[in-house]
Amino acid sequence: MAAVLCRLPEDFSVPIVVVQHILPDFTGTFAKRLDKKGNLVVREGKQGDILRPGHVYIAPSGKHLVFKHGKIDLDDGACVNFSKPSVDVTLKSAARLFRKNAIGIILTGLGSDGTVGAKAIKNVKGITIAQDKRTSVIFDMPGNAIGSGNIDYVLAVEDIADKIMELVKGR
């Protein structure tokens, strides 16, 4: 994650939401660590946060992060893919709100979370990216998403930030 976020410029023109499968009570610490490393403002997402350009919102452990009217809504629903937060839940919500402007990225991880969300983004003509096998510590999540046929770009982790900037600039 840091390998992508730290390569984005301070004046990045869109908000970013990160769904990380992480132990409860560690998302705040994770956000603070990323905030100190890179150029963007990184913090744990809170109920009602307005999505701002150049800001990164980390989904808090134990809640699904969805979007309502351009704001963060934290949902206490059941686990999806054995996870809460779930990448699928957030990506499906992004597809509904941002439609063709949504960019969904699946990085290294265990399981298939993100595969259904990537399909939702593709269905609304958004863009999807998955980390390649060579640079993934665990290839399950990106591998499953790639296997679904709903990934536009398969990239090394060090190339993902450049592709994001290219895509955002072109939209």
pLDDT of residue 11: 93
Q: What pLDDT is recorded for position 34? A: 93
pLDDT at residue 171 above 80? no
Q: Please say whether the structural domain 2-169 has been given the CATH code 3.40.50.970.
A: no
Question: Domain map of the chain by residue range?
Answer: 2-169
Question: What pLDDT is stored for residue 165 in this prediction?
Answer: 97
What is the residue-averaged pLDDT of the chain?
Answer: 95
Rounded to whole angstroms, how far apart are CA atoms 110 and 116?
A: 15
Tell me the per-residue pLDDT of 79-129, one tens digit each, with 9 for 90 and over. 999 999 999 999 999 999 999 999 999 999 999 999 999 999 999 999 999
